[in-house]
Structure formats: structure tokens, C-alpha cells
Chain A
Amino acid sequence: MTDDNDLDLFFAAARATRPAPTDALMARVVADAEAARAPRGRVPSAPAAPRWRARLATFFGTGGAFAGLAAASVAGFWIGAVQPDLLGSVWQSEAASVDLFPSLDGLLADVSE
């Protein structure tokens, strides 16, 4: 049987050949440390949008659709406010008037004949 002195040689050999951690392991451990601490130091994120806003956004799409709608509204308001004469001339123009409901007199006269 091996005695204590012999065993000490084995233990000494084990201490001398202690496996050193790789650089990759050290990097992973430090990255874990940063990730584990991150939520505490980070500025809280913006509160979630109310549910009705989220539903509207889902229905109409995202901000692009709203931006187009807003731009068109502003443009219309600007035209009306800055150049009312232009709109007036369009409304009063003969060429601009379209008879969407033509008189049925002629048609009725034909039927009665």
C-alpha cells in the first residue's frame, strides 16, 4: 500500500498541474457579470403604449401611415389658410362644376311617349 509520503507526491503533482482557466472562460465569466448587472444600472425603458394605441397602430400600420396622414392634413390646411382665393376660383369656375345628378326630365319624357 502507498504510504502518506507517496500520496503527498501525487497531491503535489496535482497542485503543480492545476488546470488554469482559459482566456475564453475568463471572458465569458466577465461578460456574464456585466449582463447580470445590466438591468439594475440601465435607465428604465419607456412605458408601454396604451392598449388602444397599440391596436390603432396595428390596424393602420406603424408610424409611416400616420406621418402621411398628418402631412396631407397640414398641406390642406396651409393651402386653405394661405391661398383662399385659389380655392374660391376653383369652386366658382364653370369648368370645375360637374353635374353628378343630371336631370331625369328627358328620360321620363321618352318613357311617357
Chain B
Amino acid sequence: MTLAPPFTPAGPVPDDALLVLYANGDPGAARELAGRLVPRITGYAARLLGGDRAEAEDVAQEAMLRLWRMAPDWRQGEAQVATWLYRVVANLCTDRLRRRARRPAVTLDEAPEVADPGPAVLAGMIAAERAAALEVALLALPERQRQAVVLRHIEGLTNPEIAAVMAVGIEAVESLTARGKRALAAALAGQRATLGYDGDDGDDG
């Protein structure tokens, strides 16, 4: 076993340092930061909005615009850029979902193609169908539960990180995710057979 050198090479530039570089006029910093953050917040927005890609992209663009505008005032070390962005995205999605409330709600019955997958369906298609069914089930959850579950189990954040995003304690995060998962399990229970995970599920898990 070798000892680590006294001066380890610098890792990737942290997000908040990139943000400061951007504010100071570094032309490549914005591109680098966007490459890191936009895929994450687009996915998060899509999960919160029930899979609406176009709307998720609008939210991601708006959230990034707010980040660019506040970059000159960003205080390094006080908050994680990603944490701040997840919170902005959640707020933007909440606004859109409230506006959307006038429209008819999406129900589990509207999950695309889950009722008739066919015997020769590809693994990728099964994954897509599972993801679609999960999106519909997520949309039926209370908003805070949905945020906590998506951040924990899809975005892969830790409970302390989620607590920072949602501005609640860690116990509250644990409670929200536990309740959310129970509701999801109940909602998805009827789709065991149609989603092809009875028996041979090790292919894409």
C-alpha cells in the first residue's frame, strides 16, 4: 500500500468555484457548469412534473437563468450549488403543478402501454414502461413526499443533502420517503404481472 502524496493533484473544480469563475468572466465556466447541472435538474423536474419533457426543460432553463443572475452575489462555501438548484426546481415545479391543477389529473390507467407489453418485449422497453408507471404513481403522491422520494431514490442524494434541499430535518426526510414509498408500493402493486418483474428481474435492476 502506498501513501498518498503530500500534495494530491487537484480534482475537478467545485461547482461553486465554477460559478465564481463564471461571474468573473471565464467563458468556459458556464458551459462546464451547465454540463454538470442541467442533466440532473432536467431529470428531477421531469420526475416532479410526471414526465413532461418540454415543461421540465423550461423549468431547467429558468432555474439556470436564476443561477446565472445571482452568480455575482454567490458566497462560496455557504451552500451547495446543486442543493440550491434542486430547491429552485422544486419551487418552479410546484408553481406549474398548481397551474396545471385545473386540467384533468393523470391516473394510473393512463400509463402508456403497460397493459399489453407482449411476450417478446425488450428489456429496455420494460424499463421504460416501469419508469412510466413510476412517474404516474409519483405524480399521485403528495408533493413533499414526491420530492423526497425522487431526490433519495432516483437522484441519489443522501438524507442530509435532501434535508438541505427541502429545508427540513433529517427525520422529516426519513418520514417523507418512508410514507412515499409505502404509497408507491400500494399504487404499483397491481402491475406486477403486466410490468414483467415476476420471476426474472435481475436483467436491469
Contacts and interface: CB of A to CB of B under 8 A. Distances in A.
A1 B189 contact: yes
Interface residues of B, number: 48
A29 B38 contact: yes
A11 B153 CA distance: 6
A55 interface: no
Nearest to A8: B205
Interface in A1-16: 1-4, 6-16
Contact of A6 (B31, B43, B57, B192): B192
Interface stretch (A18-26, A45-53, A58-66, A84-92): A18-26
Interface in B115-146: 126-128, 130-131, 133-135, 137
A33 interface: yes
B154 A34 contact: no
User: Which label, helix, strand, loop or mixed, suits the secondary structure of the A interface?
Assistant: helix
Contacts of B172: none
A36 B139 CA distance: 34
A6 B189 CA distance: 9
6 contacts: A2-B192, A13-B127, A13-B204, A14-B131, A19-B43, A21-B38
A40 to B, nearest CB: 7
A20 B60 CA distance: 12
Interface string B161-185: 0000000000000000000010011
Contacts of A22: 57
Given A6-B197, A21-B38, A16 B127 contact: yes
